[in-house]
Amino acid sequence: MVDFWARYRDDRWIDHEGDGYRPSEHTSVWLTPGHTEEDASLVVEADDGIYAMSHCWWRGDRSPEVDPLAWDQAVLERSRGRLLAAVDIVIPGHGEPFRLR
């Protein structure tokens, strides 16, 4: 299991390098704060594109535009921009995936 600050094997905490940590050859953890201060996204490089599993958006229609529970909306916008520039498909926190390219 991987979260924003560590990885775990059984009940052992194992530090990772933080933003950009690569748990495997085709996956990386990106720190994407905004919804919460500690949010992270899992980015997966697949044959048909680059996917991000993220809570930067709630739903597949990218709503709500302004996150009513955001820790910091401006920081969230920067995290969203980072993902929009780099990935092809986003799997949001509570909805259907959406394709960017």
Interval 5-44: pLDDT, tens: 677 788 887 776 778 889 899 999 999 999 988 899 999 9
Whether residue 94 is predicted with pLDDT greater than 70 in this model: the reply is yes
Spans of all domains in the chain: 18-99
Quick one: 18-99 is in which CATH superfamily?
Ribonuclease Z/Hydroxyacylglutathione hydrolase-like (3.60.15.10)
| pLDDT value for 5 | 67
Cα separation, 79 vs 56, whole angstroms: 7
Interval 47-76: pLDDT, tens: 999 999 999 999 999 999 999 999 999 999
